Structure formats: C-alpha cells, structure tokens
Amino acid sequence: MLDPRGPRFAAIITSVVLVVVLITGSGWLALAQAVVFAVGAANIRYAPYAWIYRKFVARHLGPPPPVREPSEPVRFAQGVGFAFMTVGTAGYLAGAPVVGLIATALALAAAFLNAAFGFCLGCEMYLLLKRVRAALPTR
Amino acid sequence: MPFEVTGLIVAAVVLLAATAFGLVKRARDGKLRQPSRSEDREVLARLGVDGATPVTLLQFSSAFCAPCRATRAICARVAAETEGVRHIEVDAESHLDEVRALGIMRTPTLLIVDAAGRVVRRAAGQPPTRAHLLAAVSEALTSGSKTVGSNR
C-alpha cells in the first residue's frame, strides 16, 4: 500500500521529462525514462521518482492521508509506460523520430491524466484488452 | 519546420487534449444513470443476483483498479446499513461472457438491480457519492416492490 501522493508526484515528474523528450527529441532521455518505468514496474519500492518523493518531498507535506493506494494499479501503469517508451526510444535512436514522437506523446497523455486527474489507465484499458483478446479466434 | 517546434506543438496539443478529456471524464464518471437497455435476467442470475433480494449492488472490478476499492467500500457500507440491500463484487476478467452480455467496458462498473431483476441505475469509472447511491437504492426498493408481482 502506498501514500497516494507518491504516484501523483511521480506522474508530474514523468510528464515534465516527457515534454522535454518531445521538445529535444532526445532518444537518450527517452531511454532514461523507459528505464525509470521498468524499475517501477518491476518493484514499486525502488521506483526512482517515488524514492525522491519519500526522501525529499514527503517530510514537508505532513502525515500521509489515511487512505492508502494499492500498489498493483500503479505498477500496471508503469508497465504500460515502459511499453510506450520502449517504442519511443527505439524510434528516436533508430532514426525514426516520428515513431518516437507518437509513442512519447501517448505516454505523456497517460502520465499527465494521472498527474492532473488521478486517472487510472489500467481501469479503463485492462478490461477492454481482455475482452478483445477473448474475442480473437484461438488457434 | 524544425523538429523542436514540432515537438513543442505536439506536447501542447497533447496537454490541451488530455485536459479537456480529463475534465469531461471527471464530470461524467461515477454518475448514476438510467441504463438505455434492459438486461437479461439469466445473465444477472449467473452472477449471483437472486429474486429474493430487494436491491442488489452488482459491482464489476479488476485487479489493477484503485477506484474499485473505493466503490467496494461505499457499496459494502450502504449494504450493511440498509435493510434489503446486498453488495456483490464480481471479478470482471473471470466473467468475460457476462461482461460482454452486459456491455461492461471498464472497471469499476456498478449496476443497481431491483427485486424484479431490472437494472435501474448504472455508474462507471468512479464510485457514486454516498448520497446519490442511497437515493438510487431507496428508489429501487420502491420500484422493485411495486412491480415484482406483475413481472414474474
């Protein structure tokens, strides 16, 4: 269970980083963000931005709210971010900047909706994906 | 056009579009609406809705879903405090046939089913407020008892 302000803080940092990626077109910064997503998806306790939150931000905010956030949805969102930024990084570094631009723009939309509105991408997409997958003919 | 400018424009468009989308969602999610279609009672029965219960709060959830927990908390409390109300939480992923039959697109989705087996209200994306849920439940208690004899 997590302090819900941690993932929101992380989403704000992520949004800023992704805007910088879009403006500079830097494949290496895109790669760095992909790594950050991968770490968060693997183990949310080691997520770099969440670590910054705990270390430097949380102490200035007072005690966490009584409502804790389950960590599974946050990890799922990090995994989705990782998938997008893997494509984005490949696009930028392999000389297909339009691919990088589109993938990064989608990741930014998801991160910003999380940061500004607490939007849960997993809640909206997960069931749809399952429905589509179940509808496909099995071989 | 230099690439930096393209990137800047894309970033601005994404942020504006996401803001508009988020504002629309915030206004709509969690609103208890009158469903536009009538549901198959057979499907509802497979999920545990029985005719003996005056009002059933049928909630569809998934594992990666923070608002599902909030919805569970508010429904469980209303069910505990209100005579004749039962809360059923269904893992959407493991009931895909029923999910498709009922047109469930995302989690959480909450259906309020009256004693006649009709879905009288439906909310998705966020839990309804406690006040709205209580109002809808008391309406369902009345509507269900009025028509339960004639409907089956």
Q: What is the pLDDT of residue B56?
A: 96
We find that the CATH architecture of domain B31-151 is 3-Layer(aba) Sandwich (3.40)
Residues of chain A contacting residue B3, judged by C-beta atoms under 8 Å apart: 25, 97
CA–CA distance, A101 with A86 (Å, rounded to integer): 12
Give the start-to-end residue ranges of the domains of chain A: 5-135
pLDDT for the residue B146: 65
The domain spans of chain B are 1-29, 31-151
Residues 24-43 of B with CB under 8 A from A: 25-26
Residues A55-74 pLDDT 10s: 888 888 877 777 677 777 78
Q: Per-residue confidence at B139, pLDDT binned at 50, 70, 90?
A: very high
Mapped onto helix, strand or coil, the DSSP state of residue A39 is helix
Q: What φ, ψ does residue B121 adopt, rounded to 5°?
A: -145, 160
**Using the beta-carbon criterion (under 8 Å), do B104 and A127 form an inter-chain contact?**
yes
DSSP labels, B19-63: HHHHHHHHHHTT--B--SSPPPHHHHHHTT--TT-SEEEEEEE-T
> DSSP string spanning A66-91?
SPPBPHHHHHHHHHHHHHHHHHHHHH
Residue B101 has pLDDT above 80, yes or no: yes
The answer to whether the CB atoms of A101 and B10 lie below 8 A apart is yes
Band (A125; pLDDT cuts 50, 70, 90) = confident
pLDDT digits (tens, 9 = 90+) for A3-49: 778 888 899 999 999 999 999 999 999 999 999 999 999 988 888 99
Evaluate whether ipTM surpasses 0.90: no
Query: Do the Cβ atoms of A112 and B14 come within 8 Å?
Result: yes
Task: Looking at the complex, report in whole angstroms how far the Cα of residue B11 sits from the nearest Cα belonging to chain A.
Answer: 6
- Does A108 sit within 8 Å of B93, measured CB to CB? no
- Given this model, what pLDDT does residue A138 score? 63
Residues of B with CB below 8 A from A25's CB? 3-4, 7
Distance from CA of A118 to the nearest CA of B (A): 9
